[in-house]
């Protein structure tokens, strides 16, 4: 099926009004509201991951070609599996070699759009913010390569990346594409910290990533000291949803394979679309379904469809 055929297909059928509360249970919504995060261990299945894995396989092939031209790789290792290929490509190379290709990736590949529009994700998000949903322009793939220190992400609030934005709530949906565990660097969350406003961050200077970092000993966080951070191992295709003020981090990858993950963000349609960060898109609307962006719109950087 070509890209233009994909975007003519309706991506989901509109549910009747009694179904428009999303897919989460009342208990799950309550947990999210109290703790600031929610784990959905089986949100997606293997088929749901196909489009994004395709996008990433294409990207890895481009990187392999560039590394071969630069004399850093002998062959493209196409026979290697999704979770091992990039790890083997960077075996014996340095953090700097890895960072040449960016610490996280945000490409305009159809696979990203299909993945970000997955109704299973949107139904879950709908339970938290309602049925009018805008996909925030900040979406990332994280290829956390083994033994590369730059794969670690320090404690931070996502909001530190858009401090001036007038958007609330912004929900991160973090989805591992391989099983994430404590060895390969799963996500760790500090529960209930979403109850604070944006706290002061600095840009870290030790790994070359310039990630934002919060001082966990800061006075404003003392009130949360009694709450222990939680480590959240989760299988491929599961999801962790969290508020953009909820403090979180991940450690370096000590395994032999890549810890692939994607972090997507969604917000209600009446919030700041943050154009300074890129072009997001209208991914679900029951009020104006004809304005929901198609793949062609997204590829052309149009945030919504003009019927």
Ligand X SMILES: O=C(O)CCC(=O)C(=O)O
Cβ atoms 122, 23 nearer than 8 A: no
Nearer to ligand X, 105 or 134 (CB): 105
Nearer to ligand X, 127 or 209 (CB): 209
Pick the closest to residue 86 from 141, 153, 152, 154 (CA basis): 141
Give me the least distance between CB of 104 and ligand X, in Å please: 8
Query: Judged by CB under 6 A, does residue 213 bind ligand X?
Result: no
Which 8-state DSSP code applies to residue 125? H
Interface residue with ligand X among 28, 261, 267, 269 (CB under 6 A) is 261
Query: Judged by CB under 6 A, does residue 103 bind ligand X?
Result: no
Give me the least distance between CB of 263 and ligand X, in Å please: 3
Give me the least distance between CB of 44 and ligand X, in Å please: 16
Query: Judged by CB under 6 A, does residue 245 bind ligand X?
Result: no
Nearer to ligand X, 141 or 285 (CB): 141
Cβ atoms 260, 176 nearer than 8 A: yes
Query: Judged by CB under 6 A, does residue 153 bind ligand X?
Result: yes
Pick the closest to residue 145 from 247, 63, 264, 37 (CA basis): 63
Nearer to ligand X, 115 or 174 (CB): 174
Give me the least distance between CB of 150 and ligand X, in Å please: 11
Query: Judged by CB under 6 A, does residue 239 bind ligand X?
Result: no
Residues 17-46 that bind ligand X (CB under 6 A): none
Query: Judged by CB under 6 A, does residue 250 bind ligand X?
Result: yes
Query: Judged by CB under 6 A, does residue 174 bind ligand X?
Result: yes
Query: Judged by CB under 6 A, does residue 207 bind ligand X?
Result: no
Bridge partner residues of 241 (DSSP): 38, 173
Query: Judged by CB under 6 A, does residue 142 bind ligand X?
Result: yes
Cβ atoms 160, 205 nearer than 8 A: no
Give me the least distance between CB of 218 and ligand X, in Å please: 18
Query: Judged by CB under 6 A, does residue 172 bind ligand X?
Result: yes
Query: Judged by CB under 6 A, does residue 157 bind ligand X?
Result: no
Give me the least distance between CB of 306 and ligand X, in Å please: 32
DSSP string, 60-73: HHHHHHHHHHTTS-
Tokens of 156: 């931070």
Cβ atoms 285, 132 nearer than 8 A: yes
Query: Judged by CB under 6 A, does residue 184 bind ligand X?
Result: no
Whole-number Å distance between alpha carbons of 17 and 3: 31
Nearer to ligand X, 76 or 168 (CB): 168
Query: Judged by CB under 6 A, does residue 263 bind ligand X?
Result: yes
Q: How many residues bind ligand X (CB under 6 A)?
A: 10
Q: What residues have CB less than 8 Å from 234, skipping those under 6 apart?
A: 39, 41, 176, 179, 180, 186, 187, 240
Query: Judged by CB under 6 A, does residue 158 bind ligand X?
Result: yes
DSSP string, 218-281: -GGGGGGTTSPPEEE-B-TT-EEEEETTS-EEE----SSS-EEEEEEEEEETTS---GGG---E
Which 8-state DSSP code applies to residue 107? -
Instruction: List interacting residues with ligand X (CB under 6 A).
Output: 142, 153, 158, 172, 174, 187, 248, 250, 261, 263
């Amino acid at each position: 099926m070509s890209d233009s055929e994909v975007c003519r297909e309706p991506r989901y059928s509109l549910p009747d009004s009694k179904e428009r509360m999303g897919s989460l249970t009342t208990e799950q919504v309550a947990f999210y509201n109290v703790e600031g995060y929610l784990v959905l261990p089986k949100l997606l299945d293997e088929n749901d991951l196909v489009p994004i894995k395709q996008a990433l396989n294409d990207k890895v092939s481009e990187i392999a070609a560039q590394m071969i031209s630069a004399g850093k790789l002998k062959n493209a290792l196409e026979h290697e599996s999704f979770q091992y290929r990039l790890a083997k490509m960077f075996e014996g190379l340095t953090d700097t070699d890895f960072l040449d290709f960016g610490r996280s990736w945000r490409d305009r590949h159809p696979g990203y759009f299909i993945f970000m529009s997955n109704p299973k994700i949107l139904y879950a998000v709908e339970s938290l913010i309602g049925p009018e949903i805008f996909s925030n322009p900040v979406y990332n793939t994280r290829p956390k390569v083994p033994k590369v220190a730059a794969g670690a992400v320090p404690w931070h609030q996502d909001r530190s990346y858009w401090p001036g934005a007038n958007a609330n709530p912004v929900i991160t949906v973090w989805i591992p594409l391989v099983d994430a565990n404590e060895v390969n660097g799963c996500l760790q969350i500090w529960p209930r910290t979403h109850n604070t406003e944006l706290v002061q961050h600095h840009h870290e200077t030790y790994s070359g990533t310039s990630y934002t970092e919060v001082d966990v000993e800061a006075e404003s966080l003392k009130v949360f000291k009694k709450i222990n951070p939680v480590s959240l191992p989760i299988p491929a295709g599961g999801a962790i949803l969290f508020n953009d003020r909820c403090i979180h981090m991940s450690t370096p990858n000590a395994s032999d394979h890549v810890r692939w993950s994607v972090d997507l963000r969604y917000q209600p349609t009446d919030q700041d679309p943050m154009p300074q960060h890129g072009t997001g898109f209208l991914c679900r609307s029951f009020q104006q379904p004809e304005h929901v962006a198609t793949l062609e719109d997204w590829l052309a950087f149009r945030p919504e469809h003009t019927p």
